[in-house]
Amino acid sequence: MPEPIEFYFELSSPFGYLGAMRIDEVAARHGRKVKWIPFLLGAVMKQVGTRPLVEYPIKGEYSKHDFARSTRRYGVPFKLPSQFPIAAIAPCRAVIWARGQGEGRDGELAKAYYRAFFQDDRDISDREVALDVASEQGFDRQAVAAGIADEDVKAELKDEVARGIERGVFGSPFFFVDGEPFWGADRLDMIEEWLEKGGW
Amino acid sequence: MPEPIEFYFELSSPFGYLGAMRIDEVAARHGRKVKWIPFLLGAVMKQVGTRPLVEYPIKGEYSKHDFARSTRRYGVPFKLPSQFPIAAIAPCRAVIWARGQGEGRDGELAKAYYRAFFQDDRDISDREVALDVASEQGFDRQAVAAGIADEDVKAELKDEVARGIERGVFGSPFFFVDGEPFWGADRLDMIEEWLEKGGW
């Protein structure tokens, strides 16, 4: 059984969203599964000395144009949220909690959060919204609320972020394919070629 | 006659190099010519608040790995120069001067500079090296030396950089296809699709 593709995503990242909408298909084409790893970019951005794309003059304007164009290319609906960027801690914890709720349920929940944020302009950083979205996905609202507050869940998210930073994750989306690092939704074609050829 | 693809490149940029090695083929496949526009990123980077990729912790290490992997993917030889990055003013002026030396000669000279820098580790920011490389390309050394010192050439390079900044160029390579902006050598596949479909 080949290793799953490790997929690090920040829920506030437009290209993380595009990556999330495409990764299952890419992985399936090559007989791979996806390991969904929620990530919080804030800490590592300080270390690296970068900022959210939209905050740069000139480059920020281009980025907004590029978000819209890149998602449109793949038929993925996209609207820059009115609150952006956000600190998506509650939904990240919910995704971590969902790992224990059946195979693939964490990825489904992550995608639901992305759609809520980038399609429906819902502020998923708000705990109540995070619970709403999870219950719309068929999760028990009380169970999710307990999950978000669970100390083990909190610790697991912290560990994932720390481990990601240690492995060199500095942007979103970030992928590892058999240990090889790829940054950016626009690297998915390269990842496909990498999977076909086993590297070069 | 369709508009040429406008290709802004910084000679000190590894992805500018990769873009330069691929752009002629991409353009030719779609019946386009290429307008080669030498660019100096220094000024705009200050405005935008970015730095050369390799200077960022963590992201810089990834970038070096990605330069090597991305060029290898296309069979383009690459070695990170021992002096890097550089301020490539003399060779930029030579490329501007070469615009008056016959169609396509400026692009040929730009590619020769890129090869000298990223394949042979020659410091093209040095005026003598810049003249050497040009004379190896069949240009008259004295004529290039005069061109580099020419006030009109200097002014034309300044104008190109100012015009580029005005149009939103903030990185290298940067392309305009019928006015549509694209940043990055990894956008060439998107550019091809854009050319095929006339946008989306």
Q: Is B197 on the interface with A (CB under 8 A)?
A: no
| Residue A117 to chain B, least CA–CA distance (Å) | 24
Q: Residue type for A182, please?
A: F
Mean pLDDT by 10 residues, chain A (200 residues): 96 98 98 98 93 94 98 98 96 98 98 98 98 98 98 98 97 98 97 97
Q: How high is the pLDDT of residue B160?
A: 98
pLDDT < 70 positions in chain B: none
Q: How high is the pLDDT of residue A26?
A: 98
Q: How high is the pLDDT of residue B47?
A: 92
Q: Is B48 on the interface with A (CB under 8 A)?
A: yes
Q: How high is the pLDDT of residue A2?
A: 93
Q: Is B200 on the interface with A (CB under 8 A)?
A: yes
Give pLDDT tens digits for B109-166. 999 999 999 999 999 999 999 999 999 999 999 999 999 999 999 999 999 999 999 9
Please state the separation of Cα A88 from the chain's center in Å: 10
Q: Is A61 on the interface with B (CB under 8 A)?
A: yes
- Written as six digits, the tokens of B51 are 């730095």
Q: How high is the pLDDT of residue B43?
A: 87
Q: Do B59 and A170 lie within an 8 Å CB cutoff?
A: yes
Q: How high is the pLDDT of residue B76?
A: 98
Q: Which pTM does this prediction carry?
A: 0.96
- Could you give the ipTM of this predicted complex? 0.95
Three-state SS for A123-186 is CCCCHHHHHHHHHHCCCCHHHHHHHHHCHHHHHHHHHHHHHHHHCCCCCCCEEEECCEEEECHH
Q: How high is the pLDDT of residue B63?
A: 97
> Any residues with CB less than 8 A from the CB of B106 and at least 6 apart, and which?
B36, B95, B96, B98, B99
Q: How high is the pLDDT of residue A159?
A: 98
